[in-house]
Amino acid sequence: MADIIHDVACNLLRRHGTDNRGILVLADLFGGVGYSVYVGRQQFIEYISVDKQENINVMLLNDLRFVPPPDKVPLGIEIFIKDGGASSKIVYPQDVPEDELPYDDRESFVISYFGDFPIRYPPMPSDAQKLPRTGWRTKMR
């Protein structure tokens, strides 16, 4: 597991550098990988969209589900990289209420690492406006 965490941390440092207040990964591992990356800038926290460069980390973290014995499979992981070092916290099913995922409220975790700075999310892709409507509102009635 340590090798996977090390590889993820190295990939993030290569991509985002050390000129920041830290890099935070929150990944829930329930049935797949829910992966979020936040980079602490001077006056805000930047959310990083998952793209092809980040997919390698998603695949690495997915491997965490298969490394330990089945009764020791983690439910989630936090990785925090700062000043050239990395720390991690693994979350197991007994650490989270049964009806929740480990990072349902990601903002509170982000604030605990970076302080209460605004989080900047990237704009919606330009082609998002062109997606067809599914009619889900009419189906709900």
CATH code where residue 13 lies: 3.30.500
| Distance (Å, whole) CA 39 – CA 81 | 10
Nearest Cα to Cα of residue 114 among 34, 9, 23: 23
Query: Could you read off the pLDDT of 1-11 as tens digits, one per residue?
Result: 899 999 999 99
Answer whether residue 135 shows pLDDT above 90.
Answer: no
Question: What domain count does the chain have?
Answer: 1
Contact 11, 5 (CB under 8 A): no
Give the residue numbers spanning the domain of 13.
Answer: 2-140
Answer whether residue 123 shows pLDDT above 60.
Answer: yes
Answer whether residue 136 shows pLDDT above 70.
Answer: no
Global confidence as pTM: 0.84
Query: Could you read off the pLDDT of 42-70 as tens digits, one per residue?
Result: 999 999 988 877 889 999 999 988 887 87
Give the SS3 label for residue 32: coil
